[in-house]
Amino acid sequence: MKDLEWIKTGFIAHRGFHSLDKSIPENSLLAFKKAIDYGYAIELDIHVLKDGNVVVFHDDNLDRICKKDLKLSEVTYEQIKKLHLLNTNEKIPLLSDVLALVEGKVPLLIEFKPKGDYTRLCEEAMVILKGYTGKYAIQSFNPKIVNWFKKNYPDIIRGQLAEYFTDDETISKTTKFILKRMLLNPLTKPDFINYGLKDLPNKFARKAYSKGLIVLGYTARNKLEFDMVKKYYHNAVFEFFRPDEKK
């Protein structure tokens, strides 16, 4: 039996507990340490590099965070391991570094980024995750990744990310139509969905909710947004504030 309670009711910090002033960068070991200190589950993103190493990083290009116009799929860890995250001393962590830090203290919500060779990403990540005994779940915008886990690791909690993709010019109208409606869910059978907060509430998330799926929203940046998602659905991934803090 899968333990879904932490996804349904726990506090999940988006890219770790990073700060608005960027002194604690997203997806950094420091942000993950802060989340552990508060007892928050950690949402993080992973990519596979040219050399097969799996790193924790959101974008597929290093420009925004490291000021280097390099694609992650085209570099090795040796090339990027000394780069700083924003203007801090933090570096790009390997997935194995994060697992060694967390050691099951809090659950992990691991987003498998959808671009590139998804099979290679899944296979390389699972080489690392197979020996990990802490709680974790995977999620992706790419239904092929969700389906890969259904076929190969059905006991691992899997989630489908979705939004309206209004400003995304890299995907076709047909693909947007399918993804925003999560039309492949009957095939991939996710345990939960995580929908873009800017597009909530909507009838697609409501339909999933009415069918018994756990529904999350991302990313709440204040208590008002957090409470809005909780009003309609189960939970919200958050950043830049503490939803459990009493005023």
3-state secondary structure of 234: coil
The stretch 211-235 carries a mean pLDDT of 98
The stretch 42-70 carries a mean pLDDT of 98
Q: Which one-letter amino acid corresponds to residue 95?
A: L
- Residue 147: CB atoms within 10 A of its CB come to 18
Q: What is the pLDDT of residues 94-104, one digit of tens each?
A: 999 999 999 99
In angstroms, the CA 52 to CA 89 distance is 25
**φ, ψ for residue 5, nearest 5 deg:** -60, -40
In angstroms, the CA 160 to CA 137 distance is 11
Quote the pTM value.
Answer: 0.98
Per-residue model confidence (pLDDT) at position 42:
99
Per-residue model confidence (pLDDT) at position 1:
85
Q: What is the pLDDT of residues 17-34, one digit of tens each?
A: 999 999 999 999 999 999
Here the tokens at position 53 are 């190493």
Given 3.40.50.261, 3.20.20.190, 3.40.250.10, 3.30.365.10, which CATH number is that of 5-238?
3.20.20.190
Band of pLDDT at residue 207, cut at 50, 70 and 90:
very high
Give the single-character DSSP code of 93: P
Average pLDDT across the chain, whole number: 97
Q: What is the pLDDT of residues 148-202, one digit of tens each?
A: 999 999 999 999 999 999 999 999 999 999 999 999 999 999 999 999 999 999 9
Per-residue model confidence (pLDDT) at position 131:
92
Per-residue model confidence (pLDDT) at position 114:
76
**φ, ψ for residue 9, nearest 5 deg:** -130, -10
Residue bearing tokens 């596979």: 48
Per-residue model confidence (pLDDT) at position 116:
80
Q: For the stretch 50-63, what's the b/e string if a residue is b when 16 or more beta carbons lie within 10 angstroms of its beta carbon?
A: eeebbbbbbbeebe
Per-residue model confidence (pLDDT) at position 173:
96
Percent of the chain with pLDDT over 90: 97
Per-residue model confidence (pLDDT) at position 166:
94
In angstroms, the CA 208 to CA 189 distance is 11
Angle at 155 between CA 160 and CA 219, to 5 degrees: 30
C-alpha count within 13 angstroms, C-beta hemisphere, residue 73: 10
Per-residue model confidence (pLDDT) at position 115:
80
